[in-house]
Structure 1
């Protein structure tokens, strides 16, 4: 007698093959069965990480299953029912899969690349790729040659390895490296390192201070007790120097001179380009506007030149450094007066003598944002290295303010005291500088004939500045000798590149910032507000301070 046919019975559970990762396909094998099944049906279930609390997945009834985002962090099981002519089995369930992981993503940078090595010609720099998500399997490198302040970077042809040998072309510049990380999912966006120090040549660095007067520039050796090295005669600038700026990459000094606008009858101004190496005038351009204290861009290609504090328009002319041609204009605050170009080349800060705001011009977008309103019309100012804080002085105010560049709001107002009736200058704090490490700010107090030192190291945390010292000075009164029209000795502060020395314009003192002592007096500096440091190596300029003292913390 033949046994009656039976529905299938499971003798070995179903199994699942495949990678438990979003985007991958799992394949079920039905397992082992009695009764020679002719049909298998499948039901995929989404379970907890430990394999329990399983719930059927709608429409997931085939032998394969494509893992989705909903499965990430879960496990999967498959239940199989076997059927033959006698009927269908009870469901047999597989073991659970591994916990499903997310679909691979291209790497994302979490810590920028770094550069190790000595920034000197002939030395080798080595890049570390930084920190990344996504377990990169490969890194690619691209070295960039940048301006002395780290901006205006250009790719170095063929420099695609994790190491780079510094050449003569790098002297006076900085280097950055851009890294792209890749894995099976793709490649990242480039992540860029901070700049190296300025690359030096093989010779010693010479630090020189240029004190610029009408028609004459005196050069002092900072490293050797401020000895007078030479005097440069520039008679074309005898009509009054309004500002000075240096582009080390082209070893060119630019002197703004002449009138600062129609309001005082001083007339139009000019810009002179002087080659510091050949010691020759390259060009001298007469403008159809007034002029004031401008600055060269970090890449040495453009000059941002205000049309003068006695010009109401608030226009800054943009000049080509190649020949002095006006190639554009920027609308800034009225009475275009002082200019600071940021170290990274991203912003040009525009100070208007007749305006109570400081404008920040973004070079990439040509957008202008205003900072303020300030306590009075804007006078000398400086900024920090990350372009987040502005330190300003104002007309008819003895003191300074700290403002957010991001929001435009004034954060702190620090008064140094009242300005007495009959005070001879329109402001008592015509000079401000920020230490390179951004921990101290230095401010002129012409009422009391001192330079005040303030701790600003925690202003980003909302902590108000605190006074830490006062240095008396002898000048800051009367008029400059042999001056054409803007002659009051109201003062100016210029800081050396390394932050060691503070130069007091219209008074002449050189102050050691560490000891807060006057170490010498330069007679020429007592008769001008215009001075600048230029560092030399192997016969060429490699760095400059600018006219003030700005922060260098990125």
Structure 2
């Protein structure tokens, strides 16, 4: 009898102690390829998944049957984003958007859009997608559940990169053919403001959490410019010191990639000409150059882990933000290098996505 009671006590203790493990949150980095043009040698055609808490080890490869051109070849991946509301990951290619279920990894739908697609962004509530046409005159506003077009926003700016503001009120629309940033009201889906002009057409950009500042790459500049989202004025032009502007492999732009650490204390800048990342002190304005980090290839994009511990350039290097050391490199199951300009962090609990990062290196100080 005593032994029975002892066993019962131990069993109850285990039930009390260990259910937390069943609820444990797992953090993964979803890296979509081909995310450097249509180069299949950097990760194949699909989603490479890495375990953030296990030294970014390769976990699995998710095949993506969508994303094909009319001639049967694989299309360039242009963007990636996640909706917690629909439990889905969305991948944009040159021609279409694919929606995959995050629990089953199955394709729910794929739709092509007139004018093509570029880098998409989804509303914080997960219900609306802003989808730029491929460097053309307009953005499509889509229902995230169905992919149906709600309306169209015409800017005539060469639509390209898109950021949905973290409060869901505004969407920031940058085009390859304009030196101004258009700002759309997320309720009316109309442009209500312009920021700039900057000194050239806008390439990648990011914003702070309060949505008062925008940091933009522009054509021809090894560096970045800063704009005031409140007044609409350009504030500063910051040039990287100590490095030459050489030829770049891709994008035709020496700095293509920019992001803020989540605490907004630093700004990290891609230098495709010298295969480096330059780190700036963002506690002062304009930001001041601090140090540089050599990476294994040309960086064309950068974002950060949700907790701010890691920097993720498109080269597949995983960098400890505090020490500046490369602590891992993304590799597939056969130890081939994985590189992509399209990646996003997703947290899962019991097979369902419960949190996510962002692809743009947006600040989180509100």
| 1:210 and 2:34 correspond | no
Counterpart residue number, 2:14: none
TM-score by length of 1: 0.56
1:283–1:455 CA distance, 2 compared to 1 (3 A): same
Give 1:356-367 correspondences, 5 Å limit. 356-365=179-188, 366-367=190-191
Residue deviations 1:170-221, cap 9 Å, x none? xxxxxxxxxxxxxxxxxxxxxxxxxxxxxx9982221100110033110000
The answer to whether the 8 A contact 1:345-1:363 is kept is: yes
1:347–1:416 CA distance, 2 compared to 1 (3 A): same
Counterpart residue number, 1:280: 106
TM-score by length of 2: 0.84
How many residues in Structure 1 have an aligned counterpart in Structure 2?
324
Counterpart residue number, 1:397: 221
| 1:497 and 2:306 correspond | yes
Counterpart residue number, 2:280: 454
Q: Which has the higher contact order (CA 8 A, sep 6+)?
A: 2
Runs of 4+ in 1 over 2 A off after TM superposition: 364-368, 417-425, 523-528
The structure with the larger Rg is 1
Gaps of at least 5 residues in structure 2 are 1-19, 35-44, 68-73
Residue deviations 1:116-150, cap 9 Å, x none? xxxxxxxxxxxxxxxxxxxxxxxxxxxxxxxxxxx
| 1:514 and 2:322 correspond | yes
1:202–1:408 CA distance, 2 compared to 1 (3 A): farther
Shift of 1:367: 3.7
The answer to whether the 8 A contact 2:330-2:339 is kept is: no
The answer to whether the 8 A contact 1:333-1:351 is kept is: no
Counterpart residue number, 1:415: 239
Counterpart residue number, 1:219: 49
Distance in 1 (alpha carbons) for counterparts of 2:247 and 2:104: 48
Give 1:275-354 correspondences, 5 Å limit. 275-309=101-135, 311=136, 313=137, 315-332=138-155, 334-354=157-177
Counterpart residue number, 2:193: 369
SS of corresponding position for 1:236: coil
Shift of 1:514: 0.9
Distance in 2 (alpha carbons) for counterparts of 1:519 and 1:410: 37
Counterpart residue number, 1:465: 287
SS of corresponding position for 1:527: coil
The answer to whether the 8 A contact 1:349-1:360 is kept is: yes
Shift of 1:302: 1.0
Give 1:174-189 correspondences, 5 Å limit. none
| 1:235 and 2:65 correspond | yes
The answer to whether the 8 A contact 2:46-2:64 is kept is: yes
